[in-house]
Amino acid sequence: MFNTVQQIYKKGVAYYRHSAEDKQENSVTIQRGHVERFALEHNITIIHEEVDEGVSGLLANRPGFERLFDNWIKNVHAPDFDYVLVYDVSRWGRFQDQDQAGHYVYLCKKHGKDVVYVSRGFVDANNQLFSSLEISIQRYMAAEYSRQLSEKVFYGCVKVSQQGYSAGGTAVYGMARQLLDANKKPIRILNTGEHKQIANERVSFTPKNDETTETVRKIFDLFVNERLNIPEIASYLNQRRIFSSNNKQWDKSKIIKILTDETYIGTRIYNKTWERLKQKSYKNPRSEWVIVPDAFEATINKDIFKKAQEKIYWTFPSNWRKGINAIKKARKNIYNDIRKWLLSKGATEFEADEIVSELPILYSVKLEDKINSYWCFLIYEKMKNCDNILGISVLMESKKSTNEFFMFSTKDFTSTNFLILSENSPLYYRTKIETKNLEEIVGNIIKQFKESKKWYKHRYTFVDEL
């Protein structure tokens, strides 16, 4: 009777996503309003919705996104539909690899479904090149938004960490997170999962001063003072039913983690690893760490900690072999130099060899971190009769095997025969020898050595002329 054109309705499944970082105009409610209006204008019936609320778009492993593909797009038994309706490109995802965003669009097309970003409408069939370019730019902008946001958050965390405060994360074993007010005065200890509520509050760390803190101190004591090795420490704790975090037993890796963590000497460290944008994490070099010494109360004395670092360094066979080889090389070079010098002063080859082999000389590999350099010298019993001892710094990986020289008194050594020398300590500046004075110092050591050995007093007449 009347010549009317029958309306053709198509079907669509809607997908909405909103993350904690997104602004309010990207809320699911607002997205739904835009998508429903678009569907009404284009005769599309929405038969299903999938939602990811409070979920980042950096990765595809989102519950709603996965259901969209598993239950609807790839599922041959799902009700038939034509479109996947999404508010805009950023709601589909902020993939850092733009090809990943295109990959999921391609999967939809492969299964006969078109992805439609309702904020820009259907793709113009007469100008597909421009449309593809426009979508590519929008994908880049969506990814760039996350990158810029990540950078802002990172530099904010760096600034907080540079002030010595926590920028997030949990406290290490034996320590707790301490909430500070706007004047940086302690308020209370934060429980697991608790966070600050006011922007100008800060979070620091403090020893718990409970059984876990005492366990940390015991580990250092057993390692440094009692001279137990790492497996023996783990066995000691497990036999006494002293548990690690989460009530687990101790093992080698956990003991090493405790012994090497600078948090226990009050040092705040940030940016040890790169863990942004949901990408694969990796360890940063120490030069990129944010390191703030004395940021909060220490659990372990610094001298004890340094002794532990020296000992644990040599626990690893690779370091031990490198160190031994470096010291052997340095000892050989020093031996040859002093021997040639003695020969030039009139000593016989036998006399030169005998004197050099008995001189009180100690070697230590120079260990470095971003803050400091330090050495650990170990005195031998036969050297304790000498007043002064020559200490030589050995470089592990350098063509030049030695670089610094020190004159120690035997009184500088502790009862355990160790001397930990730090580059920023008064002892370093008091004992350091200038290279130009080394010949005079070695001559004095030889004279001292002669006086300490009665049978040497009249044996080498040339020594009196040094």
Handedness of CA 378, 380, 386, 392 (dihedral sign): negative
CA angle 236, 239, 241 (to 5 degrees): 110
Assigned fold of 10-147: Rossmann fold (3.40.50)
C-alpha torsion sign, points 451, 456, 459, 462:
negative
- Residue-range domain boundaries for the chain: 10-147, 175-313, 317-465
73 DSSP 8-state letter: I
Helices (H), 204-251: 211-220, 230-239
Confidence at 11, pLDDT banded by 50, 70, 90 = very high
Pair of tokens at residue 164: 């010595």
pTM for this one? 0.51
- Structure confidence at residue 234 (pLDDT): 93
**For all residues of the chain together, what is the average pLDDT?**
83
CA distances from residue 387 to 300, 383, 401 in whole angstroms, order as listed: 32, 9, 26
Q: How far apart are CA 229 and CA 183, in angstroms?
A: 44
Pairing of strands 114-117, 83-86: parallel
Kindly report, residue by residue over 53-62, the tens digit of the pLDDT. Answer: 988 878 888 9
Lowest pLDDT segment from 69-83, 358-372, 445-459: 445-459
- Residue 428 phi/psi, 5° resolution? -60, -50
Per-residue pLDDT for 319 more than 70?
no
Burial of 389-422, coded b for 16+ CB within 10 Å and e otherwise, reads: bbbbbbbeeeeebbebbbbbeeebbeeeebbbbb
Q: Which fold has domain 175-313?
A: Hect, E3 ligase catalytic domain fold (3.90.1750)
The span from the CA of 286 to the CA of 274, in Å, is 12
